[in-house]
Structure 1
Amino acid sequence: MSHAPARRPSLRRRLLGFLLIPVAILLVLDILLTYGVALGYSNHVHDRDLGNDALTLAKMMGNEQLGGELTPQARFLLQYDPNGDSYFSVVSRKYGLLAGNGHLPQPAQVPSVGAAPELFDTRMDKRPLRAVTLSEASISRPGDTLIITVAETLHDRHVQARSILLLAILTQALLIVCVLSLVWFGVTHGLRVLDPLTRRLARRNQELTPIGGPDVPQEILPLTRTIDALFARLRGMLALHDRFIADAAHQLRTPLTGLSLHVERALADPDPANVRDALTHIRRLTQRAARTTAQLLALTRAQAPSTDTVEHVPLELTRLIPEAVMQRVHEALAAGVDLGYQGPEQTLSIDGHAASLHDLLDNLIDNSIRYAGRGSTVTVSLQARPDGGANLMVEDNGPGVPPEMLPRLSERFFRAPGTSEEGSGLGLAIVQRTAERHHAEVIYQLGEEQGLCVEVRFPPPRVRNSPVPHPETPLAR
């Protein structure tokens, strides 16, 4: 069953959504506010007209020529309404209802004679009304007071408010359409600022140079900087890949050439002694090629971009270092080298990567065993520093190297002059790169008597209690 492809997110839709949805909400709020203002204005106008009607009716009732009575014409005008929604009443305090089309409810407190009309809300026959009442002295009936009340329903008020709202909405709708058109044009035109960056990227083939430039908008600078950082890492990885190929070709050319020569020698002369000698050389060259390949891989791992935040964890050196030394004891005995360990009794830890640290120590020990020579002594020691860090030292009493050569020991493929042992010249380079990944410092110096001492100074872990001086154990042989 085929599935429709997922809709790809759109920056334009997202921007328009962020703009249009609030505008729509504001439109609804504006309609409600406009209706409220229009209704308030309509109430104000109708209340004023209602008060004027009450005052007019009071003047009619106080007209001496009318004698306190309404003419049929005046009664018709007061009672006339197309919807039949107008009411009035004239009530005498002495004689009760004198005129009107209904006995309207009175307010809680009737205003006194000469006071301003009193507006109030009431109901009659379950219909809400807006009413006004006032008091007037009767001329035709001395000593009597007339309470005049005029009321109307709220229908006309709402009709007028809706008319005002309709006029306002038409104007505002036209304005909103113009605003939305400007927003659409602004978003579409504003996104064109990305076109130069897009064209610049489209013109690239396999270039990994930075894409940032003065025409990149400030808002997408974090994106371009992230892409540039990615390109930088890719350039580093590609350079590391090319370097690995070049190093492999450089280091494997000699053993592979030797393998080819000894194979041809064995094939040319089938004498068992010659074949055995050729196989011996083939085995030695194979071991050399395997070790060189392993060191090249280790150097590549050490030179790869650091991921300290993921890889580095607390490591207990007082456990890892002795275990790594023990694994090389049999090889040291076979080479006629006395390999020992010296370290603190209490725990000493750093932040690091166990496999990389094992490669570091393995190359230090291998370098000492290989170049110190038969009958020499190699000592691996571990010391705590007052600042909470740790010092790892590998010292031998072999022939050592000239002092002027010490700064070059960490170079790739460098071998001190006069060395007869076979090697790739990569061991101390691996040590240097691994130490850098652990933010450690490597110091090369001559031994106390003779030979070489390599010291790796590790920084203290991120969280650590104040270190306490530890007594050292005697040499383990």
Structure 2
Amino acid sequence: MVEVAAAARRSAQPSLRRRLLAFLLIPVGVLLLLDALLTYGVALAYSNHVHDRDLGDDALTLAQMLRGDRLEDTVSPQARFLLAYDPDEGSYFSVRSRLHGVLADNAQFRQIAPPPVDQPPVLYDATLGSHKLRVAAVSIRPDFDPRDTLTVTKAETLADRHRRAREILLMAVPLQTLLILGVLSLVWFGVDYGLRVLQPLTARLAARGREITPIGEEDVPQEILPLTRTIDALFMRLRDTLALQERFIADAAHQLRTPLAGLSLHVERALADDSPQTLRDALGHMRRLTLRAARTSAQLLALTRAQSPLAEPATHVPVDLARLVPEAVSLRVPEALAARIDLGYHGPPGPLPVNGDAASLHEMLDNLLDNALRYAGPGSSVTVSLVASPGGGVRLRVEDDGPGVPDALLSRLGERFFRVPGTNEEGTGLGLAIVQHIAERHRATIRYLRTAQHGLSVEVQFPPPAAA
């Protein structure tokens, strides 16, 4: 049953060989039918030509035979026998004299005006009841009466013509069928042989194991180059994703090792001394270490999302920064008041649209505010501002009047796990790295500057919505 189900699945899958053969067999079958119709038409035309010539010759021969007879009201018995003789039983005749009228006939069919005397026979179509006839008429002058004109008309049905055409068709169709079968055999062999060019590529891919490097183009046919290039692009994205996953695991192990070791130390301390003061002090340290581990984990996940190659810019939609930024700033006001920091916002009243993802932009602003509130210090001020750029973009600025960053270290801001030496505040060194990657996803540029009050100013320049 398993083998039957597997065979059914294989037969249901699309096959390039079946597709090519079906694409060729159907037109070839139609071509064979059209060829049969064309052959029959040509054969019928040839049969009509031969029969017309013979019919005209018969009419002319009969007229020449009657030229020397003395004709009055009828023809001689010998002439009537020749006129009535018909081996195919589908022949009709008529002999008319201009002076004596109808001398002999065996059917009443349509007659035309007598053709010119002593000219080649005239052929035309006529009907006799439900039968179609082909008629040949010729006119001569009798030898015994030059005043008279003798018109001999010979007619026959079309049955023998069609019979001869069918005979020719039956002789031609088998030969044409054999020829087409030979062509199809060559096509079958050609398709099978042509698909063998994929075997080296298949063998090379099968031998790679878990390797996800690009396929390359050395043995790839031109027709499937677009497919292999698409697979190569997929491999590149997959490799980037795996590398990002490995980096996340390594970063998590590195960053969480210290908080976890601290937690273990304080747990052992609390177990060794159960005095209330020791327990309170250990629990306080454990709380701070737990918050630090949770923050580190959250920022590592945020950095991984920002770096992920699956976060395509094509999913970006228009976002109004003039609405998003004030809302994000207002959520951090209680935190700023608790830290004795003056947090403010300045921006135009009108909308300032950019193309982006609202959640990512909110996360970027949160990290900028978190960095400013954490390192500016009590008694300082943090200002968030939005300005419409002359070229149609938007500039977001977060500046503070705290201790700032030395000029020599400004270029290193945004690196993963980089922290300014001498900083006493706890941090992971990931906040500005997250900001950097989110800005790159939005085609924005970042500048780190010292303010006039020796603080830090972070400027994010967004492009116009159309350019983004």
Q: Is the 8 A contact 2:94 2:153 kept in 1?
A: yes
Q: Which residue of the partner structure matches residue 91 of structure 1? A: 96
One-letter amino acid of the structure 2 residue matched with residue 303 of structure 1 = Q
Superposition deviation, residue 103 in structure 1: 3.8
List aligned pairs for 1:384-403, cutoff 5 A: 384-403=388-407
Structure 2 distance, partners of 1:210, 1:324, is 43
Q: Is the 8 A contact 1:251 1:292 kept in 2?
A: yes
List aligned pairs for 1:29-428, cutoff 5 A: 29-63=34-68, 66-68=69-71, 72=77, 74-107=79-112, 109-305=113-309, 307-428=311-432
**Secondary structure, aligned partner of 1:67:** coil
Structure 2 distance, partners of 1:103, 1:328, is 114
Shifted more, 34-43 versus 208-217: the winner is 208-217
Superposition deviation, residue 269 in structure 1: 0.6
Superposition deviation, residue 212 in structure 1: 2.9
Superposition deviation, residue 297 in structure 1: 0.5
**Secondary structure, aligned partner of 1:423:** coil
Shifted more, 253-262 versus 97-106: the winner is 97-106
**Secondary structure, aligned partner of 1:453:** strand
Structure 2 distance, partners of 1:435, 1:156, is 89
Q: Which residue of the partner structure matches residue 453 of structure 1? A: 457
Shifted more, 301-310 versus 27-36: the winner is 301-310
One-letter amino acid of the structure 2 residue matched with residue 393 of structure 1 = R
One-letter amino acid of the structure 2 residue matched with residue 168 of structure 1 = A
Q: Which residue of the partner structure matches residue 442 of structure 1? A: 446
**Secondary structure, aligned partner of 2:114:** coil
Shifted more, 205-214 versus 237-246: the winner is 205-214
Gap change, CA 1:182 and 1:403, over 3 Å in 2: same
Quote the RMSD (CA, aligned, Å): 1.8
Q: Is the 8 A contact 1:410 1:428 kept in 2?
A: yes
Structure 2 distance, partners of 1:382, 1:215, is 55
One-letter amino acid of the structure 2 residue matched with residue 255 of structure 1 = P
Structure 2 distance, partners of 1:195, 1:451, is 65
Q: Is the 8 A contact 2:252 2:300 kept in 1?
A: yes
Q: Is the 8 A contact 1:97 1:103 kept in 2?
A: no
Structure 2 distance, partners of 1:218, 1:388, is 44
**Secondary structure, aligned partner of 2:35:** helix
Q: Is the 8 A contact 1:119 1:132 kept in 2?
A: yes
Q: Which residue of the partner structure matches residue 470 of structure 1? A: none
For 1:177-207, what per-residue CA distance to the aligned partner results, in whole angstroms no more than 9, with x for missing partners? 1101101111111111111111112112111
Match of 2:22 among 17, 20, 26: 17
Gap change, CA 1:463 and 1:204, over 3 Å in 2: closer
For 1:13-65, what per-residue CA distance to the aligned partner results, in whole angstroms no more than 9, with x for missing partners? 110010010011111111111111110111011111111111111111112xx
**Secondary structure, aligned partner of 1:211:** coil
Q: Is the 8 A contact 2:382 2:401 kept in 1?
A: yes
Q: Is the 8 A contact 2:93 2:154 kept in 1?
A: yes
One-letter amino acid of the structure 1 residue matched with residue 103 of structure 2 = L
Structure 2 distance, partners of 1:393, 1:444, is 10
Q: Is the 8 A contact 2:313 2:441 kept in 1?
A: no
Shifted more, 374-383 versus 85-94: the winner is 85-94
One-letter amino acid of the structure 2 residue matched with residue 302 of structure 1 = A
Structure 1 distance, partners of 2:46, 2:380, is 108
Superposition deviation, residue 282 in structure 1: 0.5
Q: Is the 8 A contact 1:324 1:361 kept in 2?
A: yes
Superposition deviation, residue 67 in structure 1: 3.0
Structure 2 distance, partners of 1:97, 1:126, is 24
One-letter amino acid of the structure 2 residue matched with residue 16 of structure 1 = L
One-letter amino acid of the structure 2 residue matched with residue 419 of structure 1 = T
Match of 1:28 among 27, 30, 33: 33
Q: Which residue of the partner structure matches residue 472 of structure 1? A: none
Q: Is the 8 A contact 1:414 1:425 kept in 2?
A: yes
Q: How many residues align?
A: 460
One-letter amino acid of the structure 2 residue matched with residue 458 of structure 1 = F
Q: Is the 8 A contact 1:89 1:104 kept in 2?
A: no
One-letter amino acid of the structure 1 residue matched with residue 277 of structure 2 = A
**Secondary structure, aligned partner of 1:128:** strand
One-letter amino acid of the structure 2 residue matched with residue 238 of structure 1 = L
One-letter amino acid of the structure 2 residue matched with residue 395 of structure 1 = E
Ranges in structure 2 where 5+ consecutive residues have no aligned partner: none
Gap change, CA 1:244 and 1:330, over 3 Å in 2: same
One-letter amino acid of the structure 2 residue matched with residue 424 of structure 1 = T
Structure 2 distance, partners of 1:306, 1:455, is 26
One-letter amino acid of the structure 2 residue matched with residue 376 of structure 1 = S
One-letter amino acid of the structure 2 residue matched with residue 264 of structure 1 = E
Shifted more, 120-129 versus 435-444: the winner is 120-129
Structure 2 distance, partners of 1:394, 1:254, is 31
Q: Is the 8 A contact 2:139 2:150 kept in 1?
A: yes
**Could you state the TM-score of these two structures normalised by the residue count of structure 2?**
0.95
**Secondary structure, aligned partner of 2:325:** helix
Q: Is the 8 A contact 2:354 2:464 kept in 1?
A: yes
